[in-house]
Every structure is written in C-alpha cells, then in structure tokens.
Amino acid sequence: MRKRIFSGAQPTGQLHIGNYLGALKNWVALQDEYESFYCIVNLHAITLPQDPATLRQKTRDLARIYLAAGIDPEKSTVFVQSDVAEHTELTWVLACVSRLGELERMTQFKDKGKGNRERSSSGLLMYPVLMAADILLYQTDLVPVGQDQKQHLELTRDLAERFNRDFGETFKIPEPFIPKAGANIKSLQDPAKKMSKSDENVAGSIFLLDDADTVTKKIKRAVTDSGTDIEFDETRPAITNLLTIFQLLTGKSNDECEQHFEGKGYGHFKTELAETVVEFLKPFQERMKEYDDAALDSILKAGAEKARSIAGETLADVYRKMGIA
Ligand code: TYM
C-alpha cells in the first residue's frame, strides 16, 4: 500500500507565491509517490467572516489553482471539505478530546483573533481541531505544509495519541513535511513578516493571478537590506527571501544562484527575478482556463466520493470504539 498524504488550503484572499512554494509545489512533487488527498478547506474559511458569493467563487477558483499548479486528478483526490460531512462529525469527537487550554495557546488563534478573545468566534478556537479531523480521517502518513502550520500538526499528533491511548489504536500518527527552503516566504515589504493572504499591504505579496506588470512593479519595489552582494545570508533577510524565490522557481542550488549573480547589482537581480516569476506565472494562469465548470464539477464530485469512502470507515471505527454506534 502506498503511503498517504493529506493537505489543504483555505479559499480566502488570494493565493500567493508563498502558498505555492511552501505547499502546492510539494503537493505536486509528492503525488506520484503517495496516495494524495488535496482539500479545499471552505469550513476553515468561515472561522472569520466571509461574503457567501465570494466564498463560493473562491472555492472553485482554488480548485482550478490546484489543477493549474499540476495536481493531476487522475493521480490525486481533489475535493471540497464541506462535501464530506465526516470532517465536521470527527471535529465534534476531537473537540471532546481536546482541552481548552491547548487550543487557547495556538498562535493562529491569538493572531487571527487579534488577541480579542471576547470577540473571536469559537470556530476560530476550534480551527486546529477541524484541521486535525481533516488529517486523521484519512490515516495520513505525511502532511506537506509551510512553517506556519507546524503547531497545528503537533496538536493533531497529540489528539491522535490521546485518542489512541484512551480508546485503543485508531489513528495513524501523521508526520509533517516542511520543506527546508520555501516554508516561510516573507513579505516583499517587510522580511520580518510572512507573505500572507490577509496582509492589507498587497505590495508585500506576489499573487498567483497577478499580471506581468504588477509582478514586475512589486519586485522592483521590494525592500532590500544594506550591502550589495546577492547572497544567501541570514543577517540579510530581504535578499535571502528574494533569492529563495529565484532558487525554487529555477531549480538551481544556492551556490549556483550566488555564482549566477556574482558582481551583479540589485537592479539586474530584480529584473531577472521578475522575468523568472512572470515566466512561471504565464503558463500557470493559462492552465487555469483549461477546466470548464462541468469538468471541474465532475472532478470535485469524484474526489468527494473517494474521500467519503475512506473518511466514513475511520469515523465508523471511532464511533464504535467510543460506544456511540
Ligand atoms: P493556508 O490556506 O493559510 O495556506 C496554505 C498553505 O500555504 C502555506 N503557506 C506558506 N508557505 C510558505 N510561505 C508562506 N508565506 C506561506 N503562507 C502560507 C501554509 O503553511 C499552508 O501549507 N490551516 C491550513 C489549511 C488546512 C490544512 C488542513 C493543511 C486545513 N486543514 C490539513 C494541511 C492539512 C491553512 O490555513 O493554510
């Protein structure tokens, strides 16, 4: 039996190159080796207020982005979270296994709730429990994600271990897959912050649907550090971030990148980086148009059916072990 992967992204805001380099690129690379499940997590999206029509549209757009990124529906299962009711059912069970204290300690709860506990939805508090349910339903071996999801993976493992201890062996304990390079792409405007869908300053993010002009302007305006060398250097996070994007899109090693730009200035580097990003985005955006509505519907329907068949088995086992069914 092939090992399993589960991962997902929220259909909120606009997907950026950080989401691609930190997650989607690896999903594509791993789909040949693993039995893969890639989910559009619309139930996570509603932990913050969403406009219904926009959410519906973005859910479909995100499915198209997965496919355009190279996820092959013949190899991988692509589906929408709300189409598989087992995700919410297992969330309730795991909510009863989780502790308020550990959920309140999650950094995403504090960040997204802007520290205002009184006004945060309880859904936001439950966010990582829903994520644990996503993963554990599929007896997942590996979860490819960016750095910001590491704490959620740790909670997922804790909940699985606790359940297994109390009710008997039920869940596989999943491992995170966080790439060495690209797991934490920074804002182009502030290398101390991650590139983020929810950043109000759009100049900090290269969106996957940005046109060539916008990309070029954003890269030209990207902040740089003091010094002139184009090198990977932890003490110069801005240039290191830009070089990381270049390196991951070209497939060159760190040394090759540094040699390539030896003796060249920032102007030259930024021009070449902008060209590289534009060259990557052009065919990507073309591929977004390849799937009409009917084709997309049928991929998502087949995906949900496959997902349901596996999720249903796990949930039945959970209920049996707990004396519910
Ligand atoms: P989301 O939608 O915020 O992001 C999707 C993926 O992109 C990664 N990512 C980044 N990687 C590198 N640099 C960045 N600046 C950057 N920003 C985001 C994220 O780490 C993520 O891998 N909770 C998840 C969605 C989710 C999920 C799951 C993931 C729900 N259930 C089960 C894995 C397994 C989230 O909000 O991702």
Whether 220 shows a pLDDT value over 90: the answer reads: yes
Contact between 215 and 277 (Cβ < 8 Å): yes
Whole-number pLDDT of residue 282: 96
Whole-number pLDDT of residue 131: 98
Determine the atom of ligand 1 nearest the C-alpha atom of 41: 30
Whole-number pLDDT of residue 110: 86
Percentage of residues of the chain with pLDDT beyond 90:
92
Q: 38 has which bridge partners?
A: 7, 78
Work out the pLDDT band at 32, boundaries 50, 70, 90.
Answer: very high
Q: What is the pLDDT of residues 237-285, one digit of tens each?
A: 999 999 999 999 999 999 999 999 999 999 999 999 999 999 999 999 9
Q: Which of 2, 305, 321 is nearest to 160 (CA)?
A: 321
Q: What is the pLDDT of residues 44-74, one digit of tens each?
A: 999 999 999 999 999 999 999 999 999 999 9
User: Which residue's entry shows tokens 């060209």?
Assistant: 275
Whole-number pLDDT of residue 114: 83
266-287 helix and 52-69 helix, angle to the nearest 10 degrees: 100
Whole-number pLDDT of residue 1: 84
- Taken in order of first residue, the domains within the chain and their CATH numbers are 4-178+292-322 (3.40.50.620), 202-287 (1.10.240.10)
Whole-number pLDDT of residue 111: 87
* 25 belongs to the catalytic site: no
Indicate which residue of 186, 194, 218, 270 is catalytic. Answer: 194
Q: Is the CB of 174 under 6 A from ligand 1?
A: no
Whole-number pLDDT of residue 117: 84
This prediction's pTM:
0.96
* 289 belongs to the catalytic site: no
Query: How many residues are given for the chain?
Result: 325
Report residue 6: phi and psi, to 5°.
-135, 135
Cβ contacts of 129 within 8 Å, gap of 6 or more: 91, 94, 95, 98, 103, 155, 159
Element (H, E) at 144: strand 142-144
Average pLDDT taken over every residue of the chain: 96
Whole-number pLDDT of residue 133: 98
Please classify residue 205 by burial: count the beta carbons closer than 10 Å to its beta carbon, then call 0-12 exposed, 13-18 middle and 19+ buried.
buried
179: left (phi > 0), else alpha (psi -120 to 50), else beta?
beta
Work out the pLDDT band at 86, boundaries 50, 70, 90.
Answer: very high
Whole-number pLDDT of residue 41: 98
Work out the pLDDT band at 104, boundaries 50, 70, 90.
Answer: very high
Percentage of residues of the chain with pLDDT beyond 70:
100
Whole-number pLDDT of residue 177: 97
Sheet (strand 35-40) strand order: 77-80, 35-40, 4-9, 142-144, 175-177
- The residue contributing the CA closest to ligand 1 atom 27 is 8
Contact between 310 and 85 (Cβ < 8 Å): no
Q: Is the Cα torsion angle 125, 129, 132, 138 positive or negative in sign? A: negative
Whole-number pLDDT of residue 2: 92
Indicate which residue of 3, 150, 172, 197 is catalytic. Answer: 197
Contact between 27 and 36 (Cβ < 8 Å): yes
Q: Is the CB of 179 under 6 A from ligand 1?
A: no
Whole-number pLDDT of residue 188: 97
Q: Is the CB of 7 under 6 A from ligand 1?
A: yes
Per-residue burial over 7-32, b if 16 or more Cβ lie within 10 Å, else e, is bbbbbbbbbbbbbbbbbbbbbbebbe
Whether 118 shows a pLDDT value over 90: the answer reads: no
Q: Is the CB of 134 under 6 A from ligand 1?
A: yes
* 197 belongs to the catalytic site: yes
Distance (Å, rounded) from C-alpha 47 to C-alpha 34? 30
Ranges 96-110, 116-130, 302-316, most confident? 302-316
Ligand 1, pocket-test mutation among 79, 145, 195, 249, most atoms within 8 A of CB: 145
Whether 227 shows a pLDDT value over 90: the answer reads: no
Expressed in angstroms and rounded, the spacing between residue 150 Cα and the centre of ligand 1 is: 10
3-state secondary structure 86-106: HHHHHHHHHHHHCCHHHHHCC
Whole-number pLDDT of residue 78: 98
Q: What is the pLDDT of residues 171-201, one digit of tens each?
A: 999 999 999 999 999 999 999 999 999 888 9
